[in-house]
Amino acid sequence: MRLTPIQFLVLGFFLVTYGMVVPWLMVLQIIKATFFLSFTSYAATFTGLIFGVVGIATYYRDRGRGR
Amino acid sequence: MSQTESVTVNARGRLGRYLIRRFLTLLMTLVVGVYIAVVVANLGGFVDDITRANIGEGLNAMSRGGWLKDVSPEEKVRIFEETRIQMEEAAGLYQSFPLRCARWTYQALTFQWASQDMWDALPYTLLLFGVAVVLLFFTSLFMSLALSLRYGSKLDRLIVALSPLSSAPSWVHGIILIVIFAAGLGWLPYGGVYDIDIPETRVGYALMVARHLVLPVGAIFLSAFFTLVYTWRTFFLIHAGEDYVEVAQAKGLPYRMIEQRYILRPALPFVITNFALMVLAFWQTSIVLEVYFDWPGIGRLYMAAVGMRGYSQHMVMSLMTLFAYLLAVSFFLLDAIYLLVDPRVGMEKEQMRLSLHHWRGIRISLRGIFRGLSNLRLPRLELDPKGWLQDIGKSLRSTSEGLRELRRYPSAVTGIIIIVVLLVMSLYAVISVPYDHVVAIWRQSVVQDIPQKAMPTWTNLFRVEKLPETIVLDSRDGTALKQSTDFKEGFKEVTLSFVFDYPYDGFPQDVVVDFDAKYEQKRPHITLTWIKPYGREIQLGAFSITSAKRYVASIEKKLTRVLASDEPLQALFIDPSYSLVKARSGRYELRVSGVLFEPEADLDAHLTVYGQVYGLAGTDFQRRDLWLGLLWGAPAALGVGLGGALITSLASMLLAATGVWFGGWVDATVQRLAEINLTLPMLPIGIMVYYLYSKNIWVILLVIVLFTVFGSPLKTYRAAFLQVKQLPYIEAAQAYGAGNGRIIRAYLMPRILPVLVPQLVAMVPGFIFLEATLAMLGVTDLYLPTWGKIIYDAMINGALRGNYYWVLEPLALLLLTGTAFALVGLALDRILNPRLRAI
């Protein structure tokens, strides 16, 4: 997968945000709590943070190269 | 189709097949894992009983609804029984135990037993997790980046120093946060989701939820932040500075290729595995966190269901299955993400089998460890070893050389000093207070003159107005003056004078007099007189007493009238001339004048002025000296920590060595069991076993140790043994005809002992906190005091209403112990892994 560090970070950010907002909406009873939504939000949170790590790891190399 | 396109399609096909294979493997693992959980739950027939009861209740409901109303009573009973048997047969209740369990497993896996309560609770837990992850995303990721770029700065050193704090589970941080922000400052709610007045607007409702989220999310954040930052920053540093990266740069390879192939691939397994462990820890410890924050997630629901037994057993199984699903989903996602980032995974058969745990990364680490060990003069096992014990001795000697290196690390020295102090404390506890005695005191079989919920005495050092200590006087031991005057006709007057100095400003908790009167028929009559330092005498009362009468000032109704005060204890010690409400210091006297009507009669008394401070550690709600509990908590914690870690390490090592040596189906079985173990929610199963089968904490700990044997240490040892197996001396041992058992026992296992030490040390805090975590859920030894049990007692008996010492003392000891082992573990890691030593 050829994503730039920033793309990894942005994707990670959207995923973790989704993983936070969906349960919040379920708790506020704006949307109904379902198996599918719960699992997608968990998967999004989990994946989002790892994408963030990958993004930072590659970004670090970018910055570190100049040292 | 061009050749390039064809290669791409083939690669995608292989990746797809790999993902499908992983999915199916994990599914199988999940099925077996849930089957094991069902077998454990149904060993006592609990699931069968509920199914049977459900059928019976359904038939009764039908009967009440008019079913069989037109038939005779005899016929009704017959049809009812026949139908019941048919329904039970259809439900599989007459099948063999394994088949029945398989049926229950299917029902659990398809959530046929789940209720809407579970789906309603899940978002609350996910919300905790989601918000914590968002915070971690914005802080730990960027912090680790910043520290990597400013390696060695003050902030970097601070984070490294604080990283052992993350060895504590989230509930430990949670309690500290509650004490500070809810109980102390009153800024945030103690727990729950709702305020008393629920806002009517959606925004107000959302803000209310947000306010209640702050503390539990903060607890999760603190338990993960330092360790994540430390790990990520360390591996960014290591892998960017590897020689092969420099070589790749020197060769002029494109930067993106260097990044993908030489930096990310080796670093990611560690980073991702570390994250996975954090997620596992979250699901395990979320139960305690939710219980104590009264957060209506699946953890709290699980505890409510498992404690109720009966019909809730279905809910227990559903929640257990949900935990297993969440863990399985986590591992599948890890595989998929790893595949996305490093498409080489799955290309090779071997990697496909092992990729779940990112073996390559672990092997890289072990290679480093072995390199480090070779510097420490590892034992050279030749063809003619003098026996296993000698080998172990050699290995331990080489390990002790490594341990000597610890002196170069101040943090490790600090950790070792703390551990030595704890060991001395444990020895002192075991020698000075025998087990039977501590159990008797903790069961309150021994009555003591100890105040209730009294703070430690040393807190007076920080007070302007001193709180009183307990004063005990007794006419039988000479601390009170006893005078006896005989009169005519066998009459006698006994005067007991209890004189004591009271140099305090605070009021005592209570004043209690225990009378001990000896007489045949006529009860003695006594008069109590209280004499204040400035000479005022107050007659507290006059009454006849039985042989063992107790006079308690705080509950004597007459006393409020006599003293004309609703606060009799204040009235006894106050000086009316004072403008402030504080006790008058000086010499007090309680005079007991007794008239005895028989020549052989006698009177004695025991006065206790219960103070507000007591001993080194204070007291709890049952007047038990906390020092004793804290003292005995040390051997209990070290016993559980060291014992659990040692048993787990040795058993894991033996299993790994056996698997590696025999290979084939033996190794495959060990591997599959390890994978199944990963989807088994250990803590919920342990809790279930406690509630269903055994109230013995040691049995529960043994169950959890058995699960842990198949956990991550097994993987680490297996990777190490795979390398040792290739060494020439093993081949030589085979050549001279050494048997399998001998090779495993004498050549493989001793060689790996130096790896055992850091693994063992790193596992100790986990077991110490595990015992405390179980105790926090009421899963604890009934009589032996442990730190976890003291915290549990404190939390459910009002420690947060001003008695912070009660909860903070055991919590501090737990943190200190966990941190000490974590500090030593980190240093050992640096010593044995030269790549860490280099940074």
pLDDT in tens, B425-448: 999 999 988 888 888 888 776 667
Tokens linked to B39: 């077998």
How much is the pLDDT for B202?
Answer: 85
Q: Does A56 touch chain B (CB under 8 A)?
A: yes
Which of B305, B327, B325, B326 is closest to B688 using CA atoms?
B305
Question: In this prediction, what percent of chain B has a pLDDT beyond 70?
Answer: 84
Domain ranges of chain A: 5-57
Angle (CA) B615-B530-B601 rounded to 5° is 95
How much is the pLDDT for B315?
Answer: 83
Architecture of domain B457-610: Sandwich (2.60)
Are residues B126 and A45, on separate chains, in Cβ contact within 8 Å? yes
Model ipTM over 0.95: no
C-beta contacts of A58-63 below 8 A and 24+ residues apart: A58/A4, A58/A5, A58/A8, A58/B259, A58/B263, A58/B264, A59/A5, A59/A6, A59/A9, A59/B145, A60/B145, A60/B148, A60/B149, A60/B236, A60/B240, A61/B240, A61/B259, A61/B263, A62/A5, A63/B145, A63/B149
How much is the pLDDT for B383?
Answer: 43
Tell me which of B588 and A57 has the higher pLDDT.
Answer: B588
Tell me which of B805 and B156 has the higher pLDDT.
Answer: B805
What span, in angstroms and rounded, lies between the C-alpha atoms of B584 and B588? 10
Are residues A56 and B240, on separate chains, in Cβ contact within 8 Å? no
pLDDT of B381 strictly over 60: no
Are residues B133 and A16, on separate chains, in Cβ contact within 8 Å? yes
pLDDT of B125 strictly over 70: yes
pLDDT of B366 strictly over 70: no
What span, in angstroms and rounded, lies between the C-alpha atoms of B491 and B598? 6
Q: How does residue B373 score in pLDDT terms, banded at 50, 70 and 90? A: very low
Tell me which of B816 and B199 has the higher pLDDT.
Answer: B816
Q: CA of A34, closest CA in chain B: separation in Å?
A: 6
Are residues B133 and A20, on separate chains, in Cβ contact within 8 Å? yes
Are residues A26 and B123, on separate chains, in Cβ contact within 8 Å? yes
**Cross-strand pairs, B511:** B609
Lowest mean pLDDT among B130-139, B144-153, B623-632: B144-153
Provide DSSP, B84-138. Answer: HHHHHHHTTTTS-HHHHHHHHHHHHHTTTT--HHHHHHHHHHHHHHHHHHHHHHH
Domain ranges of chain B: 17-109, 116-308, 358-433+624-837, 457-610
What span, in angstroms and rounded, lies between the C-alpha atoms of B30 and B806? 42
What span, in angstroms and rounded, lies between the C-alpha atoms of B651 and B815? 27
- Closest chain A residue to the Cα of B335, Cα to Cα: A47
Question: In this prediction, what percent of chain B has a pLDDT beyond 90?
Answer: 17
Tell me which of B837 and B254 has the higher pLDDT.
Answer: B254
- Which of A27, A30, A67 minimises the CB distance to B124? A27
* pTM (whole model) above 0.95: no
Tell me which of B681 and B189 has the higher pLDDT.
Answer: B189
- Which of A22, A50, A57 minimises the CB distance to B267? A57
How much is the pLDDT for B368?
Answer: 44
Whether B101 and B187 have beta carbons less than 8 Å apart is answered as: no
Mutant choice from A32, A36, A53 vs B, greatest count of B C-beta within 10 A:
A53
Q: What is the mean pLDDT of residues B377-401?
A: 52
Q: What is the mean pLDDT of residues B810-833?
A: 84
Query: Rounded mean pLDDT of chain B?
Result: 80
Tokens linked to B44: 């006592």
How much is the pLDDT for B245?
Answer: 61
How much is the pLDDT for B631?
Answer: 92
Tokens linked to B288: 């305690």
Say which residue the tokens 């803000």 belong to. Answer: B207
Whether B496 and B538 have beta carbons less than 8 Å apart is answered as: no
- Which of A20, A28, A43 minimises the CB distance to B329? A43
What is the tens place of the pLDDT at every residue in B803-812? 899 999 999 9
Contacts of B174 (CB under 8 A, 6+ apart): B215, B216, B218, B219, B289, B292, B293
Q: CA of A59, closest CA in chain B: separation in Å?
A: 8
Q: What is the mean pLDDT of residues B385-407?
A: 61
Q: How does residue B346 score in pLDDT terms, banded at 50, 70 and 90? A: very low
Which residues on chain B are in Cβ contact (under 8 Å) with A65? Answer: 255
B540 sits in which H/E element:
strand B537-544
Contacts of B443 (CB under 8 A, 6+ apart): B783
Q: How big is the A-B interface in CB pairs under 8 Å?
A: 136
Which residues on chain A are in Cβ contact (under 8 Å) with B232? Answer: 53, 56-57
Tell me which of B664 and B606 has the higher pLDDT.
Answer: B606
Are residues B126 and A41, on separate chains, in Cβ contact within 8 Å? yes
Contacts of B393 (CB under 8 A, 6+ apart): none
Q: Does A19 touch chain B (CB under 8 A)?
A: yes
Tokens linked to B772: 């405390």
Q: What is the mean pLDDT of residues B348-360?
A: 39
Lowest mean pLDDT among B14-23, B166-175, B416-425, B464-473: B14-23
Tell me the CA distances in angstroms from B229 to B27, B88, B152, B275, B671, one per residue in order.
Answer: 33, 56, 14, 11, 31
Are residues B144 and A56, on separate chains, in Cβ contact within 8 Å? yes
Q: Does A31 touch chain B (CB under 8 A)?
A: no
- Which of A28, A59, A65 minimises the CB distance to B145? A59
Tokens linked to B333: 């996602």
Other beta carbons within 10 angstroms of residue B768's beta carbon come to: 29
How much is the pLDDT for B374?
Answer: 42
- How distant is the alpha carbon of residue B380 from its chain centre? 41
CA atoms within 13 A on the CB side of B728: 2
**Cross-strand pairs, B518:** B602
Lowest mean pLDDT among B202-216, B340-354, B763-777: B340-354
Whether B478 and B485 have beta carbons less than 8 Å apart is answered as: no
φ and ψ at B31, to 5 degrees? Answer: -60, -45
Q: Does A36 touch chain B (CB under 8 A)?
A: no
Q: How does residue B96 score in pLDDT terms, banded at 50, 70 and 90? A: confident
pLDDT of B588 strictly over 90: yes
**Cross-strand pairs, B531:** B537, B589
CATH number of B116-308: 1.10.3720
Tell me which of B355 and B630 has the higher pLDDT.
Answer: B630
pLDDT of B355 strictly over 60: no
Whether A60 and A3 have beta carbons less than 8 Å apart is answered as: no
Lowest mean pLDDT among B219-228, B415-424, B599-608, B722-731: B722-731
Q: Does A13 touch chain B (CB under 8 A)?
A: yes
- Helix residue ranges per DSSP H, B309-409: 312-341, 349-354, 359-375, 388-405
**Cross-strand pairs, B538:** B530
- Closest chain A residue to the Cα of B229, Cα to Cα: A53
Q: Does A33 touch chain B (CB under 8 A)?
A: yes
Are residues A27 and B123, on separate chains, in Cβ contact within 8 Å? yes
- Closest chain A residue to the Cα of B148, Cα to Cα: A60
What is the tens place of the pLDDT at every residue in B267-307? 666 666 667 767 777 777 788 889 889 999 998 988 888 77
What is the tens place of the pLDDT at every residue in B667-685? 888 887 887 777 777 888 8
Q: Does A40 touch chain B (CB under 8 A)?
A: no
Which residues on chain A are in Cβ contact (under 8 Å) with B141? Answer: 49, 52-53, 55-56
What span, in angstroms and rounded, lies between the C-alpha atoms of B238 and A53? 15
